[in-house]
Amino acid sequence: MSRQGLAKLLRANAHHGAIPGFKRNLLLREFIPSDGLSVHTMRCAGLDFMVFGEAYLLKQYNVFGEVLELEHLPTINMRVKVEGGYVMLLPDGKEDEFDQDEIVHIKDYDVEQNIYGVPDYLGGLQALLLNEAATLFRRRYYSNGAHAGYIFYTNDPNLTEEDEEELRAQITASKGVGNFRSMFVNIPGGSKEAIQIIPVGDFQAKDELEKVKNITRNDVIAAWRMNPALAGIIPENSGGFGDIEKIDRVYTSNEIRPICQLFNQVNDVLREDRWIGWREEPKVEAAL
């Protein structure tokens, strides 16, 4: 997968662009920083993990060879070398190489390979692209101004060639923002079927946009395993989605805390007095 492509897709859809930042914020809420890993570093690494399924941290040593701090390296520029180690792509075609033991590579497991991490939402990319295409189509539909999803049919002997040329010119000139949307035609002596408008694809009338947007939106949040109540979706029923605090607690326990465990591997390299920690999971009293 293209790293640049995955990054650009964050701007293709409102939900897809907001969810990784929201999950990163939930991760930060549980995070207890240390001198070895700051909030800023975790903020950057956490977003990389949500978007790319992996994060890279550079070890900073003291004179005794102990790791005192970890520095974030942008995942979008990182590559794994075939012969071992890592390389960071720099501007102007330059590269910065790192040895295997200089980097902490936090990644989600992929069943097809064990070199890079892979994000969970890849199965929803087609729905994401369809959602973007539907929005762009509607924008172009309105911007066009003519809305010419029809056939303008005429078969009247009273319509002169000059009138036909004028009608053709008026229809062509109707394109563009702010131009007229209706047309007045007068044919003296013409029948009631002298002119017919035959629709062939009226996107506005069928209003397929709402259906496409709703279906693809649901696919996107499902690919992210995001609860609708936490994804900014307006409930369609009067009862809403239920207890938001309980939803948040269950989602954090099932989705965010396993990610916390992945990041715990930084404590395997940091000096003990610089280990990171996590907020204790709140205890829920059983109902009597």
Whether the predicted pLDDT of 107 surpasses 50: yes
Other C-beta atoms lying within 10 Å of the C-beta of residue 1: 12
Q: Which tokens sit at 177?
A: 């923002």
Angle between helices 208-223 and 125-144 (to 10 degrees): 150
Give the model's pLDDT for residue 186.
60
Distance CA 197, CA 200 (A): 10
Q: Which two tokens stand for residue 286?
A: 């059983």
Rounded to 5 degrees, what are φ and ψ at 8?
Answer: -65, -30
Average model confidence (pLDDT) for the chain? 85
pLDDT single digits (tens) 162-201: 877 887 777 666 655 555 455 556 666 666 677 776 665 5
User: Which tops the pLDDT comparison, 125 or 191?
Assistant: 125
Q: Under 8 Å CB-to-CB from 277, ≥6 apart: which residues?
A: 32, 34
Q: Are 42 and 33 in contact (CB under 8 A)?
A: yes
What pLDDT, on a 0 to 100 scale, did the predictor assign at position 287?
46
Residue 205 pLDDT level (bands cut at 50, 70, 90) = very low
pLDDT in tens, 16-57: 999 999 999 999 999 999 999 999 999 999 999 999 999 999
User: Residues 245-269: pLDDT tens digits?
Assistant: 999 999 999 999 999 999 999 999 9
Q: What is the pLDDT of residue 29?
A: 96
pLDDT of the residue at 182 = 56
Nearest-angstrom CA–CA distance, 278 and 46: 14
Other CB atoms closer than 10 Å to residue 203's CB: what's the count? Answer: 14
Cα-Cα-Cα-Cα torsion 5, 8, 13, 18, nearest 10 degrees, comes to 110
Contacts of 245 (CB under 8 A, 6+ apart): none
**What percent of the chain lies above the pLDDT cut of 70?**
79
Of all helices (H) and strands (E), which one includes residue 31?
strand 31-32
* C-alpha triplet 178, 180, 182: angle, nearest 5°: 150
For 184, the token pair is 């007045």
Burial of 271 (0-12, 13-18, 19+ CB in 10 A): middle
**Ramachandran angles phi, psi of 33, nearest 5°:** -70, 170
CA–CA dist 110, 120 (Å, integer): 10
- Angular region, 232: left φ>0, alpha ψ -120 to 50, beta rest: left
Nearest to 23 by CA among 41, 3, 43: 43
